[in-house]
């Protein structure tokens, strides 16, 4: 039996001789990560791939930078616009205060001017009253001189007198000029009325 088995094996070896063992070297797959560090040294990407990836990365950073700059500019613009609006409101408020102050000063000046004018008019009325009283007292000294008309204009007095002779008026003028308040006596008109046998003399007393 053993001899028969050996003969069968020899016959099979003759018919199917053993094939020589050939070693094959596999190329690593680019898409599959190999745990062997030597595989990384075997595959080296071309330089164009590195250049494209660098350009893409720089472009992304540039886009992000432009967006950040745009946001910063928007914030600055908003701050400037807000400051301008606040400044404009402050200027309008100051202009309003200046206008109100000018109006108040104008009103105060008007009131002061009215008070001063009132004081001046009052003092002038008192002065004119003193002048009229002075003239009346002066004429009372000579009962023959009659005062027919007396006018006050610009602090001056114009009077018309009726007297029996012109000499009496001359004496009156002398007495008037002796007063310090009277600067001059201006003779306006003088005429004689035969029926009354009297003189009508009009004069202006300048104080």
Three-state SS across the chain? CHHHHHHHHHHHHHHCCCCCCCCCCCCCCCCCCCCCHHHHHHCCCCHHHHHHHHHHHHHHHHHHHHHHHHHHHHHHHHHHHHHHHHHHHHHHHHHHHHHHHHHHHHHHHHHHHHHHHHHHHHHHHHHHHHHHHHHHHHHHCCCCCEEEEEEEECCEEEEEEEECCHHHHHHHHHHHHCCCCCCEEEEEEEEEECCCCEEEEEEEEEC
The percent of residues in the chain predicted with pLDDT above 90, rounded, is 0
Could you report the per-residue pLDDT of 149-183, keeping only the tens digit for each?
777 776 677 778 887 777 777 777 777 777 666 77
Cα–Cα distance, 139 to 31 (Å, whole number): 141
pLDDT tier, 77 (very low <50, low <70, confident <90, very high otherwise) = confident
User: What pLDDT, on the 0 to 100 scale, is given for residue 45?
Assistant: 56
pLDDT at 70 over 80: yes
Right CATH for 143-206 from 3.40.50.450, 3.90.320.10, 3.30.1360.100, 3.40.50.1460: 3.30.1360.100
pLDDT at 91 over 80: yes
Cβ(125)–Cβ(152) below 8 Å: no
pLDDT tier, 102 (very low <50, low <70, confident <90, very high otherwise) = confident
Q: Where is mean pLDDT largest: 95-99, 157-161, 189-193?
A: 95-99
Q: What is the mean pLDDT of the chain?
A: 72
Distances in Å between the alpha carbon of 46 and those of 50, 51, 53, 100? 7, 9, 12, 82
């Amino acid at each position: 039996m053993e001899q028969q088995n050996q003969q069968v094996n020899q016959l099979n070896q003759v018919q199917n001789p053993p094939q020589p063992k050939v070693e094959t070297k596999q190329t690593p797959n680019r898409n599959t990560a190999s745990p062997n560090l030597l595989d990384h040294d075997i595959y080296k990407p071309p330089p164009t791939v590195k250049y494209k990836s660098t350009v893409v990365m720089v472009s992304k950073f540039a886009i992000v930078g432009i967006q950040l700059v745009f946001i910063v500019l928007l914030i600055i613009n908003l701050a400037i616009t807000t400051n301008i609006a606040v400044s404009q409101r402050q200027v309008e408020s100051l202009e309003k205060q200046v206008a109100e102050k000018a109006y108040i000063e104008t009103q105060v000046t008007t009131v002061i001017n009215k008070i001063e004018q009132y004081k001046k008019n009052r003092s002038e009325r008192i002065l004119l009253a003193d002048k009229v009283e002075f003239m009346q007292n002066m004429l009372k000294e000579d009962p023959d001189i009659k005062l027919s008309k007396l006018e006050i204009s610009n602090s001056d007095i114009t009077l018309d007198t009726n007297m029996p002779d012109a000499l009496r008026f001359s004496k009156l003028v002398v007495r008037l000029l002796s007063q310090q308040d009277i600067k001059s006596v201006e003779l306006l008109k003088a005429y004689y009325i035969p029926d009354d046998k009297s003189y009508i003399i009009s004069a202006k007393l300048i104080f």
